[in-house]
Amino acid sequence: MQDRDIYELLAGKLEDAELAWREAGPEAYALVPAARIHEAAIFLREDPRLSFDLLMCLSGIDWDGYDESGKGKSVDILGYNPDGTPETSDRVAAGDLGVAYHLYSYRHDHKFAMQVRLARDNATVPTVSDVWPTADWHEREAWDLLGIRFAGHHDLQRILLDEEWVGHPLRKDYQMPDRWTEVPLAGQPYSKNPFKQDNAPPAGGDDSGEG
């Protein structure tokens, strides 16, 4: 079944929800309101025409600073200054957070992609770990790295980072820490190019793209 048809079925099932269909690049996805995602998940798995039994990937996304025009002018992440101190920025992050679900059905051999948009100050979405148990660890990772809460998850704890870590590193406004417990993280001052004074390519170099 084509993913547009699956979207129609889903929209038909969730009649009063405001679904949207986005075609962005190689893959199109359905934008589902956060409150209805659990219902959508159950429908997608249980309906015999769809039977999406594999949640391939559940990713958290931080849409802050995304350049909608497609010209690549998204805001850079914060790193370290050349003198070794963490970069800071006065910019206040205001973008949405999001979760992307990619589903596959072994029975019918079709795929589907969904996304959810969440407001930054209230980033909560119902869990789908009771529908697809693999989401358990994926949601924990999204919480750990992006701070997205999954309501109803049985044990939403950090998974990759230490339990005492503060902050959610994959957010665009995350400032690099300058120390972890007593270990300084911002190390020696460095120059972006320790071998030359500027970033120009070597003279007579091959511009074929192996950069």
- What does the alpha-carbon distance between residue 144 and residue 138 come to, in Å, rounded to a whole number? 10
**Binding footprint of another protein, residue count (CB under 8 A):** 49
Using rule CB under 8 A, residue 210 touches another protein: yes
Binding of another protein by 125 (CB under 8 A) = no
Least distance from another protein to the Cβ atom of residue 58, Å:
9
With CB under 8 A as the contact rule, the residue among 38, 100, 177, 186 that binds another protein is 100
The phi-psi region of residue 140 (left if phi > 0; otherwise alpha if psi is between -120 and 50; otherwise beta) is alpha
Residue with smaller CB distance to another protein, 90 or 109: 109
134-163 residues near another protein, rule: CB under 8 A? 134, 136-137, 145, 158-162
Residue 48 as a binder of another protein (CB under 8 A): the answer is: no
Smallest distance from another protein to CB 54, Å: 6
Give the Cα separation of 10 and 195 in Å (integer). 57
Q: Shortest gap between Cβ of 150 and another protein (angstroms)?
A: 15
Using only C-alpha atoms, the chain has a radius of gyration, in whole angstroms, of: 21
Residue 81, Ramachandran bin (φ over 0: left; ψ between -120 and 50: alpha; else beta): beta
Angle 3-13/37-46 helices, nearest 10 degrees?
120
Considering only residues 165-184, where is the footprint of another protein by CB under 8 A? Answer: 169-170
Nearer to another protein, 16 or 155 (CB): 155
Residues 4-23 that bind another protein (CB under 8 A): none
Cβ 200 vs Cβ 192: under 8 Å: no
